[in-house]
A and B are shown apart, each in its own frame.
Chain A
Amino acid sequence: MSEANLEANNAAEDCTAREQDLIARVQRGQHELFYDLVQPYERRVYAAALAILRNEADAEDAAQEAMLKAFANIRQFRQESRFSTWLIQVTVNEALMRRRRQRMVGMEPIDDRTDDKDEPDYAPRDFADWREIPSEALERKEIRQKLAEALATLDRKYREVFVLRDVEHMNIQETADTLGISIASVKTRLLRARLMLRDLLAAGWEQGWFSRLPFEKGTKPW
């Protein structure tokens, strides 16, 4: 193991130990520490709620409500799963309940019930070469904005799975459990989401989203 990896592992272990200590202290009644416990995950909680509700104000409210529910139920958390996974599950439940309520009052369209198996395979666009978007590009706000816009164009069922898997880093089983769908559906939806996003980002090149990124002279996009 390299020195950098070792350092990263040690940092992760310290972080987990600190989190376990915080959980135990909040469960024993030091409620004022709850914000310290959830603060590292607030952006992930918001992202999960936004993936489901697609409206910033609703997502923020759902994120806050989910944190309050997590606080109210913290004594039931037994550390048999990761705290972050549990927190995201609470958030997804809260967001799904809100969406159900919105549908009942006609604010949201009823779900399409298309079975994943009935949908034709997705054929990705044909490019000779993929021109990589380096992660340094994320330093730029307009790039982050474009990526968020691309994600928002995906259908709900693809967006939810993609966010839980690739943004929240849940495993396939956790994603299936959280959304109440099968493992096969998680895999199918994730594949489609990734392929569609790949094509959307490629189209972004053509529209000049990444035109200011530094690349070697003479490199052709595709």
Chain B
Amino acid sequence: MTNGNITNREVLNCEHVWREISNYVDGEVGSTLRSAMDEHFRTCRRCVSVLEGVRNVAQLYGDERILEVPAGFSRRLEKRLAKDVRESERRWSPWSTWLVPLAALALITGSVRMASSITPGFPAKSQMAQRGQGIPPDLIVLVATGTRVFHVAGCTFIHNKDEVRSITAQEAIAEGYVPCLRCMRKYLDVAAIRRAEAAGDLDAEADEEEVEMRGN
């Protein structure tokens, strides 16, 4: 929530209103800024036109009817899913006769794994590596073969991009991966990252990871 650095008595100009107009539409402005913008809209026809246009855009593109798929999309998707489901069941069927004894074994080993999943399976590569706080377990993250760091999509510090796979953050942590100090920053101890930056450890960690990846 922003108040756009304004005080109660400040009068907004149009440029200021345009900068905040999207936040205004989304209800992301504080009460002071909202009041100032409301006041501006009472006298500025151009900004009202911008506001109505932005609202109209959000309303039109938010409508389900805008979503169109190519002809035959649903049929092709259903067919491909059905094929994959059949194949996955075929892969599993020879095992089904073993399911009962395996289930008993899984119960025993599962409890052991649950306990061990609290800590990463691999030792953290860097002294600066952190497990992170509040990472949503369902968050889909990327891990690359031969590395020890997991990233969110779009991170520019992913090595070995040819062999990247998507897993959940929970799985990544269970497999011993640690959050990327750049793209997962908001889940990490920022003070520790700053110390690492000052000491040049971030670059060292990236280099170290790349070296290990090449070695594999």
Could you tell me which A residues sit within 8 Å of B by CB distance? 31-32, 34-35, 38-39, 42-44, 46-47, 56, 60, 63-64, 67-69, 71-73, 76-81, 86, 89-90, 92-94, 96-97, 100-101, 104, 121-124, 126-130, 132-133, 135, 137-139, 144, 147-148, 151, 162, 166-167, 169, 172, 177-181, 187, 190-191, 194-195, 197-199, 201-202, 222
Contact = CB atoms under 8 A, between A and B. Distances in A.
Interface of B: 15, 18-19, 21-23, 25-26, 28, 45-46, 48-54, 56-70, 73-74, 76-78, 80-82, 84-85, 88-89, 136-140, 142, 151-155, 161-162, 164, 166-168, 170-171, 183
Contacts, number: 204
Contacts of B25: 194
A177 B162 CA distance: 22
A130 B53 contact: yes
Contacts of A177: 136, 139, 152
A100 B57 contact: no
A94 B67 contact: no
A contact patch SS = helix
B171 A76 contact: yes
B138 A78 contact: yes
27 contacts: A35-B82, A39-B74, A42-B74, A60-B70, A67-B80, A71-B84, A71-B85, A73-B166, A76-B138, A89-B153, A100-B161, A104-B161, A122-B18, A123-B18, A129-B48, A129-B49, A130-B48, A130-B49, A132-B56, A138-B65, A144-B66, A144-B68, A148-B66, A166-B62, A191-B22, A195-B22, A222-B49
B45 A128 contact: yes
B28 A135 contact: no
B134 to A, nearest CB: 11
A123 to B, nearest CB: 7
A81 B60 contact: no
B61 A151 contact: yes
B70 A56 contact: yes
A180 B154 contact: yes
Query: Which 9 pairs between the two chains have the least Cβ-Cβ distance?
Result: A180-B154, A198-B53, A130-B52, A191-B22, A43-B67, A180-B152, A138-B65, A89-B140, A130-B49
A133 B56 CA distance: 7
Contact of B166 (A71, A93, A121, A162): A93
Nearest to B187: A177
Contacts of A73: 166-168
Contacts of A126: 46
B78 A94 contact: no
A177 B185 CA distance: 11
Contact of B22 (A38, A93, A132, A187): A187
Q: Is the interface of B mostly helix, strand, loop or mixed?
A: helix
A128 B49 contact: yes
Contacts of A67: 77, 80-81
B142 to A, nearest CB: 6
Contacts of A43: 64, 67-69
A129 B68 CA distance: 31
B37 to A, nearest CB: 14
Contact of B61 (A79, A132, A167, A202): A167
In this complex, the member of A72, A123, A151, A195 whose beta carbon has the largest number of chain B beta carbons within 10 angstroms is: A195
A190 B62 CA distance: 14
Given A39-B74, A147-B60, A201-B57, A32 B85 contact: yes
A77 B171 CA distance: 11
Contacts of B162: 101, 104
Nearest to B64: A43
B183 to A, nearest CB: 5
Given A162-B61, A187-B22, A187-B23, A92 B153 contact: yes
B80 A64 contact: yes
Contacts of B68: 43, 144, 148
